[in-house]
Amino acid sequence: MTAGKENVDSGIPLLTVENLQVEFDTYGGTVQAVRGVSFSVDQRQTLAIVGESGCGKSVTVQSIMGLIPTPPGRITAGSARLRGHETLGRSTVGGKQIRGAEIGMIFQDPMTSLNPTMTIGDQIAEPLQVHRGYSASDAFTEAIRLIELCKIPEAAKRARQYPFEFSGGMLQRAMIAMVLSCKPSVLIADEPTTALDVTIQAQILDLMQELQKETGMAIILITHDLGVVARMADEVAVMYAGKVVEYGSADDVFYHSAHPYTVGLKEAMPMNDPARQHVLKPIDGSPPDLFAPPAGCGYCPRCPYAMQICSERQPQGHNLHGHHFASCWLHHAKSGRKPETIFFKDAR
């Protein structure tokens, strides 16, 4: 973890993404899937990216991993820097492969993400041979150790089994073992527990936290479940229609929500707090069509507080305090409506 120390000293975050923009050419036209996304994440930190399906959260992390097929996909602007080195459009940083070695990724559906014709042990051993030059037998021994580390019982026996012999939770553990094999400095988890039951979800989240404590890796967690965010995240980025609309620490985003969309999400979920019972308030309508992104704020047609300007011009990011940002016209100095009166009712 020497590299990590340098980071802390130099004050550069481990991974910084700035103004990322991604488009896809389709028969129906060009979709602007990601429209200027910025965030950063540091060692031992967990950043959660929250948002509905189609908001661009998966495309964002796939761009960082170099997983966007080009064509039809295209990164049109922005940068992603790992320890200050650009990663977009490159496959190595400082002699190390980015994909797999520096940044590891686990996916929502472990069943279709693993190779059904290879044993679990061989699949975990493969990156060790490719990225770290292990011999086949050493790699397999190390794979068994990693399977044990991820708390799969009877590791030696399980290593010789195929994915179909594993349950969903066990497959997700195997995928985590595979990612850990190269000791990545960043782990990207794209909806890692969405397909799992709550009891298994709790086990996987515990495992991720434990491994983070041990290895110091940063985690970028993509989810739509605010419960999972509350449990895991240090920092939260709320995405809507290809943009980050609110960004801040978990406490900022949950207790001082500063964007109407964040507030809407919270009100659409049941709270298990007898003292704060509320009637579910759905967000009417649906997200905008990103074939022709709106001129103004993407949330404007669904926003109960929308003003004239919201449909005409993009809101700027307003810094509320510390590094809590929200892109909303209500925070503009000349806005007639005081956001405090709308948003901060829920404050501690």
Footprint of other proteins (CB under 8 A): 52-53, 167, 169-170, 197-203, 205-206, 224-231, 233, 250-251, 254-255, 264-266, 268-274, 280-284, 286
Residue 18 or 267: the one with the smaller Cβ distance to other proteins is: 267
Residue 24 or 166: the one with the smaller Cβ distance to other proteins is: 166
Residue 197 or 312: the one with the smaller Cβ distance to other proteins is: 197
156 Cβ neighbours under 8 A, 6+ residues apart? 144
- b vs e for 294-315, b when ≥16 Cβ sit within 10 Å of the residue's Cβ? bebbbbbbbbebbbebbeeebb
Residue 9 or 284: the one with the smaller Cβ distance to other proteins is: 284
Tokens 């919270």 correspond to: 266
Residue 117 or 199: the one with the smaller Cβ distance to other proteins is: 199
Q: C-beta of 249: minimal distance to other proteins in Å? A: 9
Residue 12 or 230: the one with the smaller Cβ distance to other proteins is: 230
Cα–Cα distance between 266 and 156 in angstroms, integer?
Answer: 45
Q: C-beta of 265: minimal distance to other proteins in Å? A: 6
Q: Contact 256/324 with Cβ under 8 angstroms?
A: yes
Q: C-beta of 158: minimal distance to other proteins in Å? A: 13
Q: C-beta of 11: minimal distance to other proteins in Å? A: 26
Q: C-beta of 106: minimal distance to other proteins in Å? A: 18
Cα–Cα distance between 186 and 13 in angstroms, integer?
Answer: 12
Strand runs (DSSP E) across 63-178, as ranges?
A: 73-82, 85-86, 92-93, 96-97, 103-106
Cis-peptide, bond into residue 72, ω within 30° of zero: yes
Q: C-beta of 132: minimal distance to other proteins in Å? A: 31
Most distant CA pair in the chain, distance: 69
Cα–Cα distance between 133 and 343 in angstroms, integer?
Answer: 54
343 Cβ neighbours under 8 A, 6+ residues apart? 256, 257, 258, 260, 263
What distances in angstroms separate CA 246 from CA 30, 42, 76, 235, one per listed residue?
Answer: 26, 19, 23, 11
Residue 134 or 261: the one with the smaller Cβ distance to other proteins is: 261
Of residues 70, 57, 71, the one with CA closest to residue 20: 57
257 Cβ neighbours under 8 A, 6+ residues apart? 246, 263, 266, 343, 346
Q: C-beta of 57: minimal distance to other proteins in Å? A: 12
Residue 231 or 331: the one with the smaller Cβ distance to other proteins is: 231
Q: C-beta of 240: minimal distance to other proteins in Å? A: 10
DSSP 1-38: -HHHHHHHHHT--SEEEEEEEEEEEETTEEEEEEEEEE
Residue 185 or 223: the one with the smaller Cβ distance to other proteins is: 223
Phi, psi of 146 (to 5 degrees): -65, -35
Q: C-beta of 78: minimal distance to other proteins in Å? A: 26
Count other C-beta atoms under 10 Å from residue 28's C-beta.
Answer: 8
